[in-house]
Structure formats: structure tokens, C-alpha cells
């Protein structure tokens, strides 16, 4: 029986450019879908956050280009906390899946691997 689940992911960019934000966001979302065998029709919504040092592009716009134009997407700015990981994009993906919570694979790429090293392969 399919349950509503949340899948977390994050990535970083070395420089604040629209092209890099787009590529890294699309890579992250694609890997989250693939790692969890989630189809676009299984998606409920995605919430994106980015650190305040990213100004060149919207992660949600990048994700929409993957065919998510009918999925509700929301973007927000992370809290500006001293010592936080710089140039970071995070996503929380809500979807229906048959996978038990313990089998959900959260995806952390690039510099964001340090956020949850316990979940990185």
C-alpha cells in the first residue's frame, strides 16, 4: 500500500551561477527519484531551500524543466546561520511510495555530503 513519504536531499555549488544551480538541482532531483524508484506521477510536492549566498537562479525553476510542471514546487531561503554550509540547495520531496520509511534513500551530493554523512553511500 502506497504511503505518503518525505525524501530529503541536498547539494552544493562551487560558484553562484544560474547554470550550475540548474545542473546541480536537476542532478539532485533526478537521483532522488531514481534512488527511490519514484515516478513523477507519484510526487505530491517539492520544497526547495537555498542558502542566502545564492542569487543567480531558482532551484524550483530548474526542477520544473525536468517535467515537474504539474507538481507544486516551493522555494525559500535557509536561515542565515554562522558557520552553515555555503552555497547549499536542499530539497524535501513528498511522494507516494510502497517503500517502508527505513528503505527511503535520502540523497546528499557534492559538499552537502557532510550534512548527513551517515546517509551517504
Task: Give the burial string for 12-32 (b: 16+ CB within 10 Å, else e).
Answer: bbeebeeebbbebbeebbebb
pTM of the model: 0.94
| 24: in domain | yes
CATH of the domain at 86: 3.30.1330.40
Q: Tens digit of pLDDT for each residue in 2-57?
A: 999 999 999 999 999 999 999 999 999 999 999 999 999 999 999 999 999 999 99
Q: Tens digit of pLDDT for each residue in 44-68?
A: 999 999 999 999 999 999 999 999 9
Domain span at 43: 3-116
Distance CA 47, CA 60 (A): 8
| 121: in domain | no
β pairing state of 3-12 and 73-77: unpaired
Number of domains within the chain:
1
Distance CA 8, CA 49 (A): 11
Amino acid at each position: 500500500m502506497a504511503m505518503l513519504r518525505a525524501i530529503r536531499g541536498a547539494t552544493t555549488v562551487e560558484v553562484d551561477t544560474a547554470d550550475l544551480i540548474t545542473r546541480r538541482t536537476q542532478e539532485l532531483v533526478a537521483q532522488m527519484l531514481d534512488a527511490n524508484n519514484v515516478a513523477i506521477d507519484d510526487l505530491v510536492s517539492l520544497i526547495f531551500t537555498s542558502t542566502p549566498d545564492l542569487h543567480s537562479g531558482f532551484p524550483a525553476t530548474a526542477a520544473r524543466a525536468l517535467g515537474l510542471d504539474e507538481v507544486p514546487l516551493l522555494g525559500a531561503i535557509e536561515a542565515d546561520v554562522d558557520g552553515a554550509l555555503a552555497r547549499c540547495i536542499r530539497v524535501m520531496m513528498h511522494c507516494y511510495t510502497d517503500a517502508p520509511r527505513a528503505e527511503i534513500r535520502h540523497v546528499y551530493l557534492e559538499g552537502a555530503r557532510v550534512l548527513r554523512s551517515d546517509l551517504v553511500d
